[in-house]
């Protein structure tokens, strides 16, 4: 007998998983849950800047890092390439901060 959780509706692969995702802290990056979390922004009516800042805020709330930078690299739309940087640093943090140019096209 087939379990209801194993039934898939054609054309809906991933949609239910994206809707039900929950961001979790792991000792290292668990790609599937991160992918589901990021994909929830795909169909939201939100600006690029707001999405980058919201992702940063949620990660900071979950992980409490001393320093974090979110680089939101968006696909070209209307012939415009968008890369948004959002940063957080704990009070008194004096550690390293990678240069921005390392994230720009042509600097791999």
The reported pTM is 0.73
Count, residues in the chain:
108
Q: pLDDT (tens digit, 9 = 90+) per residue, 4-43?
A: 556 666 667 678 878 888 887 877 777 888 888 888 888 8
For 46-82, letters b (16+ CB in 10 Å) and e give: eeeeebbbebbeebbeeeeeeeeebebeeeeeeeeee
Q: pLDDT (tens digit, 9 = 90+) per residue, 43-73?
A: 889 999 999 999 999 999 999 999 999 999 9
């Amino acid at each position: 007998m087939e379990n209801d959780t194993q039934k898939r509706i054609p054309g809906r692969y991933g949609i239910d998983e994206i809707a039900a995702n929950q961001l979790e802290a792991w000792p290292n990056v668990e790609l599937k849950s991160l992918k589901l979390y990021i994909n929830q922004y795909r169909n939201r009516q939100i600006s690029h800047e707001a999405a980058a800042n919201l992702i940063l805020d949620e990660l900071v709330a979950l992980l409490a890092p001393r320093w974090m930078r979110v680089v939101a690299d968006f696909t070209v739309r209307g012939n415009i390439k968008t890369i948004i940087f959002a940063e957080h640093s704990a009070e008194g943090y004096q550690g390293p901060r990678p240069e921005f140019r390392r994230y720009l096209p042509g600097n791999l």
